[in-house]
Chain A
Amino acid sequence: MVRACESAGLAWLDTYGIAVPQCVVVTRDTNLDGLYIPFEAPYIVKPDVAIGGKGQRGLVHRCDDEHARNDAITELFTHTFNGQPLQHVIIEQLMVGDEYFLAVAIDEQHRKPVLRLAATGGVGFDATNTQVCEASLIDGLNDTALTHAIINAGFPAEAINPIGRIARQMWDAFVASEAVLIEINPLKWDGETGTAVGIACEFDSRSLPSVDQHRPSLETSLAATLGRTATVREEAVKAADAREADRPGMTFFELDGDIAFVVAGGGAALFTFDVLHDYGLTPACYTDYSPGGGLDKLTALFTAALEIPNIRGVFVGVAVLNVMDTQYFADALITALATTGVDPTVIPIVARIAGPSETVTLERLRAIDGLHVLGREETLEYAGSVLLAELSTMGA
């Protein structure tokens, strides 16, 4: 899923006819003393990032004058987000009124899009405490059901029609952009108009590129996914994945352990990770390679895992494959060993590989001095115990 930062989300809502406050975005280089703001104080100052809970974290400041505003901006620029210094701060026009909550999202339990509405909202609001209105991408938004939900949510009579209009505008945005979530919290109601003051929005990264024209600009950096600055190895895997975007993807991120870990398949990776943890081994990375991703991606994955500094062991796991030729794993591992110079006689490597061409693959890998190679007759669990034993032997 990909998200938009606050200023992009608000500008995007504006294009669908939803009222938003005036705002100005400043960067670290902006000269605050000469800054022109086209609206009067008080101001709301907050980080312009694609994360929720800014109010709860004390990152949203009400500033009654220019001096307080500039102090708040300067203070916010001392913060880091996802491991990186904050780059943008948003200065927003203060809106006064009651706070409401409106969202449209894909709901796993209902297995439908749902609208959630509440005549309360703001910082710390519990989104499960809302009126729910189911919708359908075939039939659209049912006007009667929506009106009932608005009434049941307890909105004042004069707000019923305006809230209904905003809900329909959100629905239009949701459908056109193939959104996963559009959440307005709070929507400020001044007795006549509802203004979206806070927005969180997420979009499906699997949609066709043609949908992008209906979306705000999105935060797609690895740092946004990992919550920290990506390493060069993580960036290299991401680049390799992007080079063949039409093939099944892969996941790679580093952790603080010392066992390089390459496993095919999401479920097998989770299971094997548990096995290593149960043996007291701490992986240096998490990987998930979808069979069918091709040799170049797999080689990039192996190379990145073996290049992690200070690894003391390597675990390669392949649950019994149906389609993919296991020789790809031999090719990728052999190339990565040559590229990185990792010596299996010094750093123990255990590979459990099963599937098409298994016999040939195991023979090729067993020819490498120091490599411990297991086939389908041994489990992933047993392979973990072999690595543990090898590490113990070396340690002794």
Chain B
Amino acid sequence: MMTSSISALLSDPAGVVIQGITGRQGQMETRWMLDSGTTIAAGVTPGKGGQQIHRVPVYDTVSEAIARHGCRSTMIYAPRHRAANAAIEAIHAGVKLAVISAEDVPAHDLLRLIDNAQRYDALVVGPNSQGLLVPGVGRIGAPGGTDVNERFSAGHVAVVSRSGGMTGEIGHLLHQWGFGTSVQIHLGGAVMPLMTLREGVLLAERETSTTITVVFGEPSSTQEDMLARAMRNGETRHPIVAMIAGRFSDTFPAMLPFGHAPRASGDSATNVAAKMAVLADAGAAIAHNFTELREHVARLTAAHADRVAP
């Protein structure tokens, strides 16, 4: 298992490689990443080697870029049917952390990617991830858009979320309420994401500044159940506040496509009430709304004040 934290990877002088840097989204978000302090060492777009985007050199292949710059992280803007192969190429070239922006990546592509990531001891976030952010250090991807410094501040609360919009919303609210963020990880909304809630929480806890983790879950998938098991097994170290949206959906037929991913018919583990119950049993504080979220974070911050770095 890779042992680097997100902030360590973001601080890596070798920098980050951007696959698909010459596209509209790649160019725009590369500018944002540079502005927020992330070192972007290289970009990759097949057939466009030799160009420069925001003074970042572009290569034809990711192996060429990594051989030249030694990057350990990549942000991938390749389209959905090429995204998994782009990540696999990067992992084979030595990348240890890849983030995939594209949504609707085919499931069989994801399975091949998961297999490769496990064999090469790499972490992959996504698909459909907005990216990762450590306020004051940098980001991979788009969190915070053009006003990242106004929306987030450095602090002790990690946010790990299956929803992109709610990742940003929660980080922004924490900032408004006077709490800073240690790291923000948007996992993507797939039933079988490349990084699960459990893995995301464990990664967030590698940040030395993290003392509380807020997780945002949804109907579908058994990720919340896996996180609860990890909490009970003592894998997690810090208090967790869990907000699982979609309580209303428990009362509707499973076939209705609420949220990012389909719910399994008759599978009680994908029921929101069951997810909240199993997380509460494991010791998580459950927030049904933002008011409760604020109360839990304030209470846990006060209770663990000795752990918060000055």
Query: Are B106 and A204 neighbours in the complex by a CB distance under 8 Å?
Result: yes
Interface size class of A (residues with CB under 8 A): 35 or more
How distant is the Cα of A277 from the Cα of B162 in the complex, in angstroms? 22
Query: Are A178 and B108 neighbours in the complex by a CB distance under 8 Å?
Result: yes
The A-contacting residues of B in range 15-72, CB under 8 angstroms, are: 25, 28-29
The 10 closest A-B pairs by CB, nearest first: A267-B163, A265-B165, A319-B165, A270-B245, A322-B145, A266-B260, A270-B246, A271-B245, A319-B169, A268-B165
Query: Are A270 and B259 neighbours in the complex by a CB distance under 8 Å?
Result: yes
Which chain A residue shows the least CB distance to B162?
Answer: A267
Query: Are B249 and A320 neighbours in the complex by a CB distance under 8 Å?
Result: no
Q: A277-B248, A381-B290 are in contact. Are A137 and B105 (CB under 8 A)?
A: no
Known: A1-B262, A356-B145. 8 other contacts (CB 8 A): A109-B226, A178-B107, A206-B80, A268-B165, A270-B245, A271-B245, A277-B248, A319-B168
The B-contacting residues of A in range 300-339, CB under 8 angstroms, are: 318-323
Q: A137-B112, A322-B142, A376-B172 are in contact. Are A206 and B104 (CB under 8 A)?
A: yes
How distant is the Cα of A381 from the Cα of B173 in the complex, in angstroms? 12
Q: Which residues of B contact A248 (CB under 8 A)?
A: 103-104
Query: Are B189 and A323 neighbours in the complex by a CB distance under 8 Å?
Result: no
Which chain B residue shows the least CB distance to A202?
Answer: B262
Q: Does any Cβ of A come within 8 Å of B271's Cβ?
A: no
Chain B 87-112, CB-CB to A under 8 Å as 1, else 0, gives 00000000000000001111110011
How distant is the Cα of A215 from the Cα of B73 in the complex, in angstroms? 37
Query: Are B256 and A286 neighbours in the complex by a CB distance under 8 Å?
Result: yes
How distant is the Cα of A249 from the Cα of B253 in the complex, in angstroms? 22
Q: A268-B166, A322-B143 are in contact. Are A206 and B107 (CB under 8 A)?
A: yes
Q: How far apart are B40's CB and chain A's nearest CB, in angstroms?
A: 18
The B-contacting residues of A in range 1-24, CB under 8 angstroms, are: 1
Query: Are B245 and A290 neighbours in the complex by a CB distance under 8 Å?
Result: no
Which chain B residue shows the least CB distance to A269?
Answer: B259
Q: Which residues of A contact B163 (CB under 8 A)?
A: 265-268, 270-271
> Can you offer 20 A-B residue contacts whose CB atoms are under 8 A?
A106-B107, A108-B221, A111-B192, A207-B108, A265-B165, A267-B164, A267-B166, A270-B163, A270-B218, A270-B219, A271-B163, A271-B166, A274-B288, A286-B256, A286-B258, A320-B151, A321-B145, A321-B165, A323-B29, A323-B142
Query: Are A267 and B222 neighbours in the complex by a CB distance under 8 Å?
Result: no
Q: Which residues of A contact B130 (CB under 8 A)?
A: 322
Query: Are B246 and A207 neighbours in the complex by a CB distance under 8 Å?
Result: no
Which chain B residue shows the least CB distance to A251?
Answer: B257
> Which of A111, A138, A288, A355 is the most central at the interface, judged by chain B CB atoms within 10 Å of its CB?
A111
Query: Are B105 and A273 neighbours in the complex by a CB distance under 8 Å?
Result: no
Q: Does any Cβ of A come within 8 Å of B3's Cβ?
A: no
Query: Are B169 and A323 neighbours in the complex by a CB distance under 8 Å?
Result: no
Q: Does any Cβ of B come within 8 Å of A227's Cβ?
A: yes
Q: Does any Cβ of B come within 8 Å of A253's Cβ?
A: yes
Query: Are A208 and B106 neighbours in the complex by a CB distance under 8 Å?
Result: yes
Q: Which residues of A contact B289 (CB under 8 A)?
A: 274-275, 278, 381
Q: Which residues of A contact B134 (CB under 8 A)?
A: none
Q: Does any Cβ of B come within 8 Å of A113's Cβ?
A: yes
Q: How far apart are A104's CB and chain B's nearest CB, in angstroms?
A: 12
Q: Which residues of A contact B112 (CB under 8 A)?
A: 137-138
Q: Does any Cβ of B come within 8 Å of A196's Cβ?
A: no
Which chain A residue shows the least CB distance to B169?
Answer: A319
How distant is the Cα of A137 from the Cα of B164 in the complex, in angstroms? 29
Q: A266-B218, A356-B145 are in contact. Are A323 and B25 (CB under 8 A)?
A: yes
Among B81, B247, B253, B259, contact of A227 (Cβ-Cβ < 8 Å): B253
Q: Which residues of A contact B135 (CB under 8 A)?
A: none
Q: Does any Cβ of A come within 8 Å of B255's Cβ?
A: yes
Query: Are B246 and A273 neighbours in the complex by a CB distance under 8 Å?
Result: yes
Q: Does any Cβ of B come within 8 Å of A380's Cβ?
A: yes
Q: Does any Cβ of B come within 8 Å of A226's Cβ?
A: yes
How distant is the Cα of A380 from the Cα of B246 in the complex, in angstroms? 15
Q: Which residues of A contact B116 (CB under 8 A)?
A: 138
How distant is the Cα of A226 from the Cα of B191 in the complex, in angstroms? 19
Chain B 106-148, CB-CB to A under 8 Å as 1, else 0, gives 1110011011100000000000001000000000001111100
Which chain A residue shows the least CB distance to B249?
Answer: A270
The A-contacting residues of B in range 238-287, CB under 8 angstroms, are: 243, 245-249, 252-253, 255-260, 262
Q: Does any Cβ of B come within 8 Å of A167's Cβ?
A: no
Q: Does any Cβ of A come within 8 Å of B291's Cβ?
A: yes
Q: How far apart are A148's CB and chain B's nearest CB, in angstroms?
A: 21
Q: How far apart are B235's CB and chain A's nearest CB, in angstroms?
A: 16
Q: A271-B245, A319-B169 are in contact. Are A226 and B143 (CB under 8 A)?
A: no
Chain A 252-292, CB-CB to B under 8 Å as 1, else 0, gives 01010000000011111111011101100000001010110
Q: How far apart are B57's CB and chain A's nearest CB, in angstroms?
A: 25
The A-contacting residues of B in range 166-189, CB under 8 angstroms, are: 166, 168-169, 172-173, 176, 189
Query: Are B165 and A320 neighbours in the complex by a CB distance under 8 Å?
Result: yes
Query: Are A379 and B106 neighbours in the complex by a CB distance under 8 Å?
Result: no
Query: Are B246 and A274 neighbours in the complex by a CB distance under 8 Å?
Result: yes
Q: Which residues of B contact A111 (CB under 8 A)?
A: 111, 114, 192
Q: A111-B192, A265-B163, A266-B189 are in contact. Are A206 and B106 (CB under 8 A)?
A: yes
Q: Does any Cβ of B come within 8 Å of A387's Cβ?
A: no
Query: Are B161 and A267 neighbours in the complex by a CB distance under 8 Å?
Result: yes
> Which of B105, B108, B151, B289 is the most central at the interface, judged by chain A CB atoms within 10 Å of its CB?
B108
Q: Which residues of A contact B216 (CB under 8 A)?
A: 267
How distant is the Cα of A225 from the Cα of B165 in the complex, in angstroms? 25
Q: How far apart are A74's CB and chain B's nearest CB, in angstroms?
A: 28
